[in-house]
């Protein structure tokens, strides 16, 4: 959690950590200016109509339902959303998409997406091809080399069918979806890697800056 907080603070944001036993989604969206969704365990696949794969590892009890309600409330309130790792997955499920339940057994020629926790959290794992013309491409323009960026990777699931209206903006060499965004005026972006782990060196600072700027213009 420390890296999420640092990444937000270093770009001028004031993070408010939510307690899903205490903070009702409808109340949260009236007193915050943006929603950052963080990493964690697997989303219950019954929520998108599938039986659990043998590798399924549930999140904290109640977290799926809480975050799904929060995402729906945030969309309704037109809050800027930045979703990271599990955050991207739960956002996709909340808005009608599905997930690949286990990349290594379900994707042919899968890259190494599950860096062990013994490695530094900013260890580069694979590249991501960024879609031309996307918001992600515009934000990362100065940092990219030939439409690609190098990312870390600590996930065994990924987006399968994107939620309606969302566009795929980043893919790994094995085809795994690594980024998506919702076109339109409200900042809504999701990435499968962990940009927050790079707050010291700034590789993904433009993403946090854009999110915080969007939240600032939303705040009254
Ligand atoms: Mn990955």
124 DSSP 8-state letter:
-
Q: How far apart are the C-alpha atoms of 189 and 215, rounded to whole Å?
A: 13
Catalytic residue among 85, 113, 181, 182: 85
Structural domains of the chain, count: 1
Given the residues 149, 155, 194, 203, select the one marked as catalytic: 194
Q: How far is the CA of 31 from the centre of ligand 1 (A)?
A: 33
Q: What is the pLDDT of residue 125?
A: 97
The CATH number assigned to the domain holding 89 equals: 3.40.50.880
Q: How far is the centre of ligand 1, averaged over its atoms, from the C-alpha of 113 (Å)? A: 4
- One digit per residue, the tens of pLDDT, for the chain of length 220 reads 899 999 999 999 999 999 988 999 999 999 999 999 999 999 999 999 999 999 999 999 999 999 999 999 999 999 999 999 999 999 999 999 999 999 999 999 999 999 999 999 999 999 999 999 999 999 999 999 889 999 999 999 999 999 999 999 999 999 999 999 999 999 999 999 999 999 999 999 999 999 999 999 986 5
**pLDDT on residue 3:** 97
Q: Is 194 considered catalytic here?
A: yes
How far is the centre of ligand 1, averaged over its atoms, from the C-alpha of 218 (Å)?
31
Is the whole model's pTM more than 0.85, yes or no?
yes
- Closest to 208 measured CA to CA, from 40, 93, 95, 84: 84
Ligand 1: distance of its center to the CA of 131 in Å? Answer: 16
Cα 150 to chain center, whole Å? Answer: 16
pLDDT at res. 81: 98
Q: Given this model, what pLDDT does residue 176 score? A: 98
Which is it for strands 126-130 and 35-37: parallel, antiparallel or unpaired? Answer: unpaired
pLDDT number for residue 218: 80
Outline where the chain has alpha helix (H). Answer: 2-10, 25-31, 63-76, 86-94, 103-106, 135-140, 205-218
Q: Which of 127, 178, 181, 196 is catalytic?
A: 196
User: How many other CB atoms sit within 10 Å of the CB of residue 43?
Assistant: 25
Distance 103 CA to ligand 1 centre (A): 9
DSSP letters for 126-177: EEEEEPTTSHHHHHHTTT-BTTEEEE--B-S-EESSPPTT-EEEEE-TT--E
pLDDT recorded at residue 220: 55
What is the residue range of 185's domain?
A: 2-219
150 CA to middle of ligand 1, Å? 10
């Amino acid at each position: 959690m420390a890296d999420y907080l640092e990444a937000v603070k270093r770009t001028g944001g004031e993070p408010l950590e939510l307690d899903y036993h205490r903070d009702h989604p409808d109340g949260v969206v009236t007193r915050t200016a943006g929603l950052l969704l963080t990493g964690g365990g697997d989303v219950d696949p019954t929520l998108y109509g599938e039986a659990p794969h043998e590798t399924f590892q549930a999140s904290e009890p109640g977290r799926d339902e809480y975050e799904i309600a929060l995402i729906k409330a945030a969309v309704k309130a037109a809050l800027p959303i930045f979703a990271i790792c599990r955050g991207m997955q739960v956002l996709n499920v909340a808005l009608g998409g599905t997930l690949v339940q286990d990349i290594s057994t379900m994707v042919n020629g899968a890259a190494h997406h599950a860096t062990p926790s013994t490695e530094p959290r900013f260890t580069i794992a694979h590249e991501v091809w960024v879609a031309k013309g996307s918001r992600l491409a515009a934000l990362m323009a100065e940092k990219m080399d030939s439409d690609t960026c190098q990312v870390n990777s600590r996930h065994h699931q990924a987006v399968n069918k994107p939620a309606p209206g969302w566009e795929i903006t980043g893919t790994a060499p094995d085809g795994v979806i690594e980024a998506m965004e919702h076109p339109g005026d409200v900042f809504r972006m999701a990435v499968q890697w962990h940009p927050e782990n790079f707050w010291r060196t700034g590789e993904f600072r433009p993403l946090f800056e854009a999110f915080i700027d969007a939240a600032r213009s939303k705040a009254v």
